[in-house]
Structure 1
Amino acid sequence: MRTPHSSRARTRTARRRRPARPVPLLAGVLLAAAVALTGCSAGGGGASSSSDKAVAPQAGGVAAGEQDTGAGDNDGKRSTAGSGAASAPQLPVNHVIRTASLTVQVKDVPKALDRARTTTEGAGGYVGEETTTRDEDSTEQTRVVLRVPVDRYDDVLTGLQGAGKLLERTAKAQDVTDQVVDVESRITSQRLSVTRIRRLMDDATKLSDVVTLEGELSRREADLEALLARQASLKDRTSLATITLTLTEKPVTVAEKDDDPGFVDAVAGGWGAFVTVLRWVALAVGAVLPFAVVAAVAVAVWLRLRRGRRRVAAGTVERD
C-alpha cells in the first residue's frame, strides 16, 4: 500500500527535476547559433567546412543526386570501357616464310650488284651467297642470295626489280604458324620433363637408378636441343625473307612461231628427219664396224688355211 508520505516524496522529486529541462534546449539553441555563425563566416571567405558539407546535401539534395547519378554513369562507362579494353582478345601472330626469285637484265652487272648490296644492307639484311659466271661470249651473269627483314621485304623487292629490265619474277609465301606453335609447346613440355628427371636424380640413392636416369636425361636433353634448333631455324626463316637475284647482261629472246606450219616448215622438218636418220645410221655403222673388221680378218684367215689344205691334198694325190 502506498502511504501519503511516499507520494509526497515523489511529488517533491518531480518538482525538483522539472526545472532542469530548459538546459538541453538552451544548449541546442547555442549550438545552432554557432553553426549558423560558422556557416556565414565560411560562405563569406569562400571556404567550406565540415558543417557546410553536412548541410549542403539537405539544401540541394535533388541537384546533388542528379550530379552523383551522372558521375556514377560516367564512372560505369569508363569502367566498362576499361574492362572491355583489358579483356579484348589479342590477334594471333602469323609466322610466314617469304621467298622470291628475280631475273633482271642490266647494262653493267658489277654496278648493279653493288647497288643490290647497298639496298640490302641499308634495309638491315645481308648477302648470303654469290656466284658469278661468264659464258663463251664473255657475257657476265651473277646469282646472289639476299636475306632481308620481313617488314622491308616489299621495299627491297621493288628496288631490286627496278634496277633494270625485269625478265622473270617468282614470289612465294608459306604460313608456318602451326609449326611454330607446336615447337614452342613441345619445348615447354620437354623442359619440364628434363627438370623432373634432374629432381629424380637428386633423390636417387641407388647406383642403378642414377645410371638409368642419366641415360634418360641425356636422351631428353638431346630432344630438347633438336627442338631448340628447329625453333631457331623457323625464327630465322620467318624473320628474314630470302630473295634470289640473278643479274645478266644478255637478253633472253623467245622465237615466235606460227600455229599453222607452212611448206617451208614441212621441208625443214623433213630435212631434219633425214639428217637425224643419217646420223643414227652412221652411229650404227660406227658401232658395228669394229666387230665387222674382226669378222673379216677371221674369215680371210680361215679361207687361206682351207686353200693350203686343198693344195697339200692335191699334191699327195698326184704323187700316188
Structure 2
Amino acid sequence: MRSRHPVRPVPALAAVLLTATLALTGCSAGGSDSGGGAANDKAAAQSDAKGSAPGGEKGASGAKPAQAPRLTSSIIRTASLTVQVKDVPKALDEARTTAEDAGGYVGDETTTRDEKGRERTRVVLRVPVEKYDEVLAALQGTGKLLDRTAKAQDVTDQVVDVDSRITSQRASVARVRELMDQATKLSDVVELEGELSSREADLEALLAQQASLKDRTSLATITLSLSETPVKAAAKDGSPGFLDALAGGWDAFVTMLRWLAVAIGAVLPFAAVAALAVLAWLRLIRPRLPRRPAPAPATSALGPLPSAPPVPGNSPRRDGDEH
C-alpha cells in the first residue's frame, strides 16, 4: 500500500496571504480616492460659496461684476476783476501774455477815456480750467485790486442729459433711414423724408448745445477791467491853495483865449465876405448909379413961396455985427 504524504500548508497559506494583501490594498486605495474626492468637493463648495457670497470679488463664472462709470463734474467758472494800474497798455500786454502762456486766448476788448483823459480797458480772457486759479492770482497782482467776483455753476446733470438725448436722437435718425430704405410708396418716402429732416434738425441743436457746454466747462471766463491811477493826488485837507488857484486861473485864461480864437476864426470868413461886398458897392456899383436932380423951389400962382425965416440964434454972423 502506498503511504499517504501529509499536505504541505505553505503554498496554501501564501495564497491566502496574497489574496488578503490585494484586498487590503484595494480597500485603502478606494478609501483614499473617496477621501480625496470628498476633500476636493468640499474645497470646491467653499470656493463657490465664497464667490457667490455678497461682497466677493468673483462670481460663479469667475468674472468681476460690472461697475457703473464715475461721472466727471462739469463746472462753468467765471470771474470778474477790477484792477487799478499806473499804465493801462502795459498791464493789458501782461494780461494777454499770462492768458496765452496758460493756453488760453483773448476775447472781446474795449478801451475808452474818461473826461479827465484817463484810460479804461475792459478785456475778456478765456483760459483752461486747470490754470484758472493761477491766472486769476497773476491778474490780481498787476495793480491795486478794487473789485473781484467769482462764480462756479455745476452743469453735470445738464451735460449728462444732453449726451443721453443725443444718443437717443441718433438712434431715432438711424431708424427713420432704415424705414426709408424699405419704403416702396412715394407717399411713404415723402413722409419719412420730412420726419428725417425734423429729427436731424433736433440732433444738430443738441450737438450745438453739447459743444457750447464743452467750451464753457473746459475754458473759464475772466473779465478784467483796468483803470488808470490818477496822476495828481488831492490835497490832504481837501482845500485848494494859492498855487491851485493860480493854476486854475491860468487854465481859465488859456481856455478863454482858445475859445476866443475859435470864435474869431469862425467869424472871419463871413467878415471878409461882407467887407468885399461893401468895397464893391462903394467902388463899382455906387458911382455908376444915376444922381437925383436937386429939388426945385415950390411956386404958386402969386409967385414963389417965401422961405422959412431963419431961427433966431442960428443965423450966420456977419463981419461988423455987434456981439
TM class by shorter chain equals: 0.5 to 0.7
Q: Write the distance in 2 (CA, Å) between the matches of 1:196 and 1:205.
A: 16
Q: Which amino acid aligns with 1:143?
A: R
Query: In the alignment, is residue 115 of structure 1 matched against residue 114 of structure 2?
Result: no
The equivalent position to 1:104 in structure 2, one of 70, 83, 86, is 83
Superposition pairs of residues 265-280 of structure 1, within 5 angstroms: none
Q: Which amino acid aligns with 2:224?
A: L
| Offset of residue 177 of structure 1 | 2.3
* Two-structure CA RMSD over aligned residues (Å): 4.2
Residues 120-167 of structure 1: CA deviation (Å, up to 9, x unaligned): 122221111222223343322221110111222122111111111001
| Offset of residue 211 of structure 1 | 1.3
Q: Write the distance in 2 (CA, Å) between the matches of 1:240 and 1:139.
A: 32
SS of the residue corresponding to residue 175 of structure 2 reads helix
SS of the residue corresponding to residue 222 of structure 2 reads strand
User: Percent identity over the alignment?
Assistant: 67
Query: In the alignment, is residue 184 of structure 1 matched against residue 154 of structure 2?
Result: no
Distance 1:214 1:88, change over 3 A: closer
Superposition pairs of residues 5-154 of structure 1, within 5 angstroms: 20-23=15-18, 80=55, 82=57, 91-154=70-133
| Offset of residue 87 of structure 1 | 6.8
Query: In the alignment, is residue 166 of structure 1 matched against residue 145 of structure 2?
Result: yes
Q: Write the distance in 2 (CA, Å) between the matches of 1:26 and 1:197.
A: 83
Q: Which amino acid aligns with 2:185?
A: K
Counterpart position of 2:191 = 212
Query: In the alignment, is residue 202 of structure 1 matched against residue 202 of structure 2?
Result: no
Q: Which amino acid aligns with 1:191?
A: R
Query: In the alignment, is residue 222 of structure 1 matched against residue 191 of structure 2?
Result: no
Q: Write the distance in 2 (CA, Å) between the matches of 1:212 and 1:176.
A: 37
| Offset of residue 223 of structure 1 | 0.8
Q: Write the distance in 2 (CA, Å) between the matches of 1:120 and 1:173.
A: 20
Distance 1:198 1:90, change over 3 A: closer
Q: Write the distance in 2 (CA, Å) between the matches of 1:210 and 1:196.
A: 14
Count of residue pairs brought into register by the alignment:
207
The equivalent position to 2:221 in structure 1, one of 242, 245, 268, is 242
SS of the residue corresponding to residue 195 of structure 1 reads helix
Q: Which amino acid aligns with 2:78?
A: T
| Offset of residue 22 of structure 1 | 4.2
User: Which has the larger share of helix?
Assistant: 1
Residues 63-84 of structure 1: CA deviation (Å, up to 9, x unaligned): xxxxx9xxx8xx98xx95756x
Q: Which has the larger radius of gyration?
A: 2
Counterpart position of 1:45 = none
SS of the residue corresponding to residue 184 of structure 2 reads coil
SS of the residue corresponding to residue 81 of structure 2 reads strand
| Offset of residue 88 of structure 1 | 6.7
| Offset of residue 240 of structure 1 | 0.9
Q: Which amino acid aligns with 2:184?
A: T
Q: Write the distance in 2 (CA, Å) between the matches of 1:161 and 1:109.
A: 14
Q: Write the distance in 1 (CA, Å) between the matches of 2:162 and 2:68.
A: 23
List gaps (5 residues or longer) in structure 2: 1-9, 25-31, 37-42, 59-63, 231-323
Q: Write the distance in 2 (CA, Å) between the matches of 1:158 and 1:125.
A: 15
Counterpart position of 2:288 = none
SS of the residue corresponding to residue 229 of structure 2 reads coil
SS of the residue corresponding to residue 213 of structure 2 reads helix
SS of the residue corresponding to residue 221 of structure 2 reads strand
Q: Write the distance in 1 (CA, Å) between the matches of 2:56 and 2:132.
A: 38
Q: Write the distance in 2 (CA, Å) between the matches of 1:249 and 1:231.
A: 40
Residues 203-245 of structure 1: CA deviation (Å, up to 9, x unaligned): 0011111111111111110110011001100111111110000
Q: Write the distance in 1 (CA, Å) between the matches of 2:181 and 2:132.
A: 51
Distance 1:111 1:81, change over 3 A: farther
SS of the residue corresponding to residue 137 of structure 1 reads coil
Q: Write the distance in 2 (CA, Å) between the matches of 1:222 and 1:89.
A: 32
Query: In the alignment, is residue 232 of structure 1 matched against residue 199 of structure 2?
Result: no
